Structure 1
Amino acid sequence: MTKQILMLNLIGLLIFGGTSYAGTVLPFSPGERLTYEIHWTFIHAGDAVLEVLPDTEMNGVPARHFKATASTVPWVDSIYKVRDTMEAWTDKDVNYALRFKKDQNEGTYHKKVDLIFDKDRNQSRRYVKGLLQHTLDQPAHVFDPLSILFSFRKRILYKTMRFGMDVSDGKKTVMGEAFVQGVENVKTPMGIIQAFKVNLDVKHLSGVFKKSRDAELVVWFSADSRRIPVKVRSKVKVGHFTLELVDYRPPSEVK
């Protein structure tokens, strides 16, 4: 068992969105909650939750607040226990990142990262366990590994569409590329959902993706105005990983 069994970081790193979007109404808002089961081959190994939290402020700037958590199921806990959390803050229109925090607890590995984006200087500062580790110049519109997912959901998809966007973990910034292959019917515990099949370029991804010759990463987004990620599938040298949407709670009126 390796850290890659937990797919929390994958949720963010696999998505590379764009800055254009349809209108001013976002397809998500506070109160939305998506719950996933994480499968390694055919084994249910963990669970993940993706949430839009109430709007807030970050250094006096009105901000959106997102959160993702992931954990292994009890039988995996005895082998390799995982409890990971990511939080991200962006401007209200989700055009650029303001801050990203990650708390990793995977087996005996523990790490806390705080990534702060200085929009005035187009620069980021990455702190690990409270100590400044990296300072990096950034593009004007850059996202962290979690908020990039929500930036992507602003876009209207169509077959054969290609796009890219800058995403950074504070150590490096890369341009990710994606291709919309078409529309498929995806079977989920909530029924059949029509979704766009999107192939992600994995050449910039590290870890098990870099070590796998035929690595593959595919995401299915609901073919409606919400553009919900309903399924994620990856193929790497240690096997097949899948995230499947098992529950969806729509946004509330809470702001």
Structure 2
Amino acid sequence: MRKMTSFSPSIFYFIAVLFWLNFLIPEMAPCKPLLPFKNGERLEFQISWLFIPAGRAVLQVEPPPGNIPGAAHHFVLTASTYPAIDLIYKFRERVDSYTSALINRTVFYKKRQQGKTERDITIHFNLKRNTAQYTNFKEVMPPIKLPEDTLDPLAALYFIRCQSLVPGQTIERPITDGKKVVIGRLRVIKREVIRLAGHYYKTIKLEPELKEVKGVFEKSKNAKMYVWVTDDKRKILVRLKSRVVVGSFIATLINTDILGKQDREDKKERTENSTAADDYI
């Protein structure tokens, strides 16, 4: 029972992985106008601990609100335990990230967590002064200085989807949780074909550095984590796997229909554009 309690936040804080998918090498550019995702994109993951289904996490792209200055994109991550796991350790979380049009800096961030630990976190970014200020309920921390183009944990996942990933690269980027700034590092390991829901997909295997990650990773000697994204222009996260002191866990994309659906939409769009060009001529 005690082990499950200590591990649950790490399972669903698979944002900890997203936290370390915040990288940049000097030649990397901000996201181009033609983005690899659209409003309405929804990626659903099942998270298992020791092969036991424990909960789910959902990544969504939503239209930005009109009341947050500078916000051109809105990314959402929700995570929750399944009812059976709720009896042992109930966990609910929602993270909202708002970024600039080029997804090269965060303009606002908030996180709500319910369960054994309650959190109501907000990070206010002052883009002119390059500072961020963290609040959690009534706790207000002094502003911290940021390097230019610093991202929050969730936004960086979408930023990296805009980039080319070449095996052998080691990629870095400044990231913040509002309390400190660190340099996240990631290795692009290799291209790999993996099986999901009976189908095979071309992917790129990544390894985030874990030395700055706290909690169960900090307590695990030689902890490793691997992340797989599709080897195409979309770079969709499809699998995440790690082994730590309390066992192994894996997050797997379960609505794999989105992989084929987007291909069909892209093909239709190319056909329509070609037809329109023919009509124009």
TM-score range normalised by the length of the shorter chain: over 0.9
Out of 241-250 and 230-239, give the one that drifted further: 241-250
Q: Specify which structure has the higher proportion of strand.
A: 1
Which amino acid counterpart does residue 232 of structure 2 have in structure 1?
A: D
**Cα contact 1:234–1:241 (8 A) shared by 2:** yes
Structure 2 equivalent of residue 24 of structure 1: 33
- The partner residue of 1:6 within 9, 12, 21 is 12
Candidates 55, 72, 77, aligned match of 1:63 = 72
Deviations 1:187-227 (A, max 9, x none): 11262111000111111111111111111111101000100
Deviation at 1:144, TM superposition (A): 0.7
Q: Does 1:113 align with 2:121?
A: yes
Match of 2:216 among 205, 208, 213: 208
Q: Which residue of 1 aligns with 2:105?
A: 96
Deviation at 1:238, TM superposition (A): 1.1
The one of 72, 77, 87 aligned to 2:96? 87
Q: Which residue of 2 aligns with 1:162?
A: 170
* Count of aligned pairs between the two proteins: 251
Which has the higher mean CA deviation after the structures are superposed, 172-181 or 53-62?
A: 53-62
Deviations 1:78-128 (A, max 9, x none): 11011111000000110100111111113x211110011111000001011
Amino acid at match of 2:109: F
Structure 1: which 5+ runs fail to align?
none
Question: d(CA) in 1 for partners of 2:29 and 2:50?
Answer: 36
- RMSD over aligned Cα, in angstroms? 1.8
> What is the rounded CA distance, in whole Å, between the counterparts of 1:205 and 1:231 in structure 2?
19
Matched, 1:191 2:192: no
Moved more, 6-15 or 237-246: 6-15
Which of the two has greater helix per residue?
A: 2
Find out whether 1:243 has 2:241 as its counterpart: no
Aligned-partner Cα distance in 2 for 1:195–1:21? 23
Shift of 1:22: 6.8
Which of these residues, 148, 160, 164, is aligned with residue 152 of structure 1? Answer: 160
2:275 corresponds in structure 1 to none
The percent identity for this pair of structures is 30
TM-score (norm: length of structure 1)? 0.92
Give the TM-score normalised by the residue count of structure 2: 0.84
In structure 2, distance between residues paired with 1:55 and 1:197: 31
Instruction: Please list, as runs of the form range in 1=range in 2, the aligned pairs for 1:31-70 lying within 5 A after superposition.
Output: 31-57=40-66, 59-70=68-79
Which protein is bigger by CA-based radius of gyration? Answer: 2
